[in-house]
Amino acid sequence: MEGYKYAADIDSITKAEDVIKSYVHLTPVTSPAVLNSFAGKSLFFKDEKSGNHVAALSLATKIRGIPAYVVVPNKAPICKVENIKRYGGQVIFSEPTMKSREETATKVSLERGAVIIPSSNDARIIRVHCH
């Protein structure tokens, strides 16, 4: 997108990869021939699962011995909530709207002295796989 500034550059991505590579579980990239033939193009799919960001943050903070307060919509699937807890995150429920999640996160941040880490375009988190 024109005029859009990304929070990370290739150097910070490479540094982040070096720091976290021993904790990363690589998921495959597939390119199904049947779908490619229907589309008339090469399509690539990354087998990622929703909730990886908060699970990774929960594990990272657990390893560092600091709490992670994770704001989750109250209609989130139980398996995602349990995954956050398994990795050490403390689940705090909000209504399933962006406004409610942001308000809840701000409240938690102020009450507990926590830092809000968004799930995208923030230099502290990088969701790029580079080789």
How many structural domains are present in the chain? 1
At residue 128 the predicted structure's pLDDT band, cuts being 50, 70 and 90, is: very low
The answer, yes or no, to whether residue 53 has pLDDT greater than 90, is: no
pLDDT at position 21: 84
> Is 121 contained in some domain?
no
The answer, yes or no, to whether residue 127 has pLDDT greater than 70, is: no
> Is 76 contained in some domain?
yes
Burial class (CB in 10 A: 0-12, 13-18, 19+), 103: middle
DSSP E strand boundaries for 1-131: 29-30, 45-46, 69-73, 90-94
pLDDT at position 131: 40
Mean of the per-residue pLDDT values for the chain? 84
Give CA–CA dist 104/110, Å, rounded. Answer: 10
Phi and psi at residue 7, to the nearest 5° = -75, -15
> Is 29 contained in some domain?
yes
> Is 41 contained in some domain?
yes
Nearest to 57 by CA among 91, 7, 11: 91
pLDDT at position 129: 43
pLDDT in tens, 63-118: 999 999 999 999 999 988 999 999 999 999 999 999 999 999 999 999 999 999 88
Q: What CATH number should be reported for the domain holding residue 104? A: 3.40.50.1100
Q: Which of the two residues, 26 and 39, has the higher pLDDT score?
A: 39
> Is 126 contained in some domain?
no
Residue 40 lies in domain: 10-112
> Is 68 contained in some domain?
yes
pLDDT at position 121: 67
